[in-house]
Amino acid sequence: MSANLYHPQPLLTKEGSLLEKIKKIKYLLLDVDGVLTNGAIFINENGEESLGFSIYDGMGIALFKKAGFDVGFVSGRKSMAIAKRASALGVSDCYLGASDKGAIYNEILIKHGLKECEVAFVGDDLIDLPVLRRVGLSVAVPNAVDAVLKEVDWVTARKGGEGAIRELIDAILSASEKSPAI
């Protein structure tokens, strides 16, 4: 891993080395509101919503996919803005209105033939806990609720919507020694 990568938590977890967990990752599953965004939802006078996404996270997702990894989005809300962002980034696994994220996670494992140790999930709220408790690498953004922060392997230095996903992706790419051609 690069020496300048900031880890707010030690690289050791209850189950062992965080680096060893990171090296096993093949699939990155992301909550959206509060993780890929800062959690704010803007509604215009026509009732249409808009969300702000970090360009750094988007570039990270593009690089991650180019290096041969896969990415999925799962949100408890139905949102056209999320669907459009997923489409723009080539993220085909985009689950919206997911009240049971654990069921979606099971579907992803089967669809992609993954083991739990090969999946990283980034969440920020209580609805994310069932998946965070099962994945190989559980990650939260620092703006997550306390119950989530207490249970994850790693808390990013950057907040949701401000490059947190790029930070994680850079760590996974560095640990895997896979560098996409730019």
For 110, phi then psi, to 5°, come to -70, -50
119 is a domain residue: yes
Angle at 141 between CA 73 and CA 72, to 5 degrees: 10
- Whole-number pLDDT of residue 177: 77
Angle at 63 between CA 58 and CA 69, to 5 degrees: 110
Averages of pLDDT over each 10 residues, the chain, 182 residues: 41 65 96 95 92 96 96 96 95 96 97 98 98 98 96 96 96 84 59
- Whole-number pLDDT of residue 178: 75
Read off the tokens for 98.
Answer: 């997911």
- Whole-number pLDDT of residue 12: 43
Record the pTM: 0.89
7 is a domain residue: no
Contact 164, 6 (CB under 8 A): no
Q: What is the CATH number of the domain that holds 122?
A: 3.40.50.1000
146 is a domain residue: yes
- For residue 50, the enclosing domain spans 13-175
4 is a domain residue: no
3 is a domain residue: no
166 is a domain residue: yes
What percentage of the chain's residues is helix, strand, coil (to nearest 5)? 35, 20, 45
Domain total in the chain: 1
181 is a domain residue: no
5 is a domain residue: no
